[in-house]
Amino acid sequence: MRVLAAMSGGVDSAVAAARAVAAGHEVTGVHLALARNPRTYRTGARGCCTVEDARDARRAADVIGIPFYVWDMAERFHADVVDDFVDEYAAGRTPNPCLRCNEKIKFAAVLDRAVALGFDAVVTGHHARLDPDGLLRRSVDLAKDQSYVLAVLTRAQLDRAIFPLGDSTKAQVRAEAARRGLAVADKPDSHDICFIADGDTRRFLSQRLGDAPGDVVDASTGAVVGSHAGAYGFTVGQRRGLRLGVPAPDGRPRYVLSITPATNTVTVGPAEALDVTAVDGVRPVWTGGAPPDGAVEAMLQVRAHGSVVPAVIEATAVGIHAELRQPLRGVAAGQAMVAYRPDPDGDIVLGCATIT
C-alpha cells in the first residue's frame, strides 16, 4: 500500500514509519507544523510540535530512507484544538486536547488530505492495536496504551489507519530505534500539553479569558469559603491550589465538586461527595460497530490513564448512559467516557462519548 507516516519527531512515530517500510509499504513521511510560532511550544521532552521536533523527524526519515514533507496545519490546529480547549474551560468543562487533536487533525484533516493525494492509509506511532476485524484494542504495553484517546475515531477512519507499535512495549520500541540507528532512540517522551509552553494551564487560560473573580462555596453549608480569579482555573476533583479562607468544620480536605459558569461559582466539599455512580455522554462514536441493542456490560474509563470500572451501558437518543458497578471519583464534564468489552482481555473498544 501507499501510506503516509505521521512523524512527530519522537521515537514512536519514527519506529512506526520504519516498520511500515519493512512491511513492504510505499511510505512517505510528513511532519505536522501545528504552531503559529513553534518556539512558543514545549520543547525537548515536553513537545511534539516544535522546530527541533521537525528536525528530528526529518533526520529519522533520512535514516529510514523515505521522502519527507512538512505540512502547515497551524491554523486548523489552533481553531480545532487550542480554541476548543479554551472554550471548553470557559464553559466549565475539562477537555482532553490530545483526544481532540487525534479526532480533528491527525485522523480528519491529515487523513482527508492523504486520501485526496492518493494514499491508502495513515501510519502513526500510537500505542494501540487493530485486530483482524478492524476493531480498536489496547496496546500490549498497558502503561503506554493510547486506545482511550483514539476511541473518537470512526470505523471509516480506523479502516485507513495503521498502528504498528501496538504489539510492542516502549522499551522494545526504543531498543529497535537504537538498532536502526535512529537518533531519537533515547529522546524523552512528550508530556502535558504541547501548546502551553511553561505547563501553567491556569495562566494560559487567564491570558486568554481574563480575570473573572467569583466565589468558592462549601457544598454542605452554602457558605462562601474562598474566592477565585476565574472558574476556568479549576477542574472537578482538584484539591491543591484552592486557597480556601475558611477550613472545613471537621478539618478534612475539600475538593472541587462542580463548576458553574453561569454564576461563576466553584463548589467544594469532601472526597466522598465526588463519588459518581452514573455517567451520561453525548456525541457518541461506536468504534466497535453499531450501537448495542439495549443495556450491555462494559468496562468504563473516563480519563486517559484513569481507573477502569465495570458498568452497564446503553445507547440513548443523544449518546451513552452508563450505570457504574462501583463509584468513580473526579469525573468531569468534557472528558471522554470510553467503553471496552468486558471479555477476559477487556481491551476492545466498544465506543465513546463526551461526558455531560
pLDDT, tens digit (0-9, with 9 covering 90-100), for 73-89: 999 999 999 999 999 99
Q: Domain spans of the chain?
A: 2-186, 212-273, 275-355
Q: In this predicted structure, what is the pLDDT of residue 247? A: 83
**Closest to 173 measured CA to CA, from 56, 19, 22:** 19
Residue of 48, 49, 98, 101 marked catalytic: 101
Tell me if 220 sits within 8 A of 250, measured CB to CB. no
Hey, what's the cell of 328? 468513580
**Would you say the C-alpha torsion 233, 238, 241, 245 has a positive or negative sign?**
positive
Judge: domain 2-186, CATH 1.20.120.10. Answer: no
Q: In this predicted structure, what is the pLDDT of residue 48? A: 63
- Res. 121 pLDDT band, cuts 50 70 90: very high
- CATH code, 275-355: 2.40.30.10
**Closest to 79 measured CA to CA, from 109, 113, 122:** 109
pLDDT, tens digit (0-9, with 9 covering 90-100), for 21-60: 999 999 999 999 887 766 555 555 445 667 888 999 999 9
Phi, psi of 252 (to 5 degrees): -80, 155
Strand-pair category, 308-315 with 296-301: antiparallel
Q: Would the pLDDT of 282 be above 80?
A: yes
**pTM (predicted TM-score):** 0.90
**Closest to 310 measured CA to CA, from 294, 296, 325:** 325
Is 352 considered catalytic here? no
For residue 302, CA distances in Å to 69, 294, 308, 322 come to 36, 21, 8, 11
**Closest to 308 measured CA to CA, from 334, 347, 254:** 347
Residue at 162: amino acid letter: I
Is 194 considered catalytic here? yes
Tell me if 173 sits within 8 A of 15, measured CB to CB. yes
Residue of 48, 49, 98, 194 marked catalytic: 194
Sheet containing 121-123: order of strands: 68-72, 26-33, 2-6, 121-123, 161-162
Q: What angle do CA 99, 104, 110 make, to 5 degrees?
A: 120
Residue at 92: amino acid letter: G
Least confident of 8-12, 166-170, 190-194, 341-345: 190-194
Neighbours of 316 (CB within 10 A): 14
| Topology of the domain comprising 212-273 | SH3 type barrels. (2.30.30)
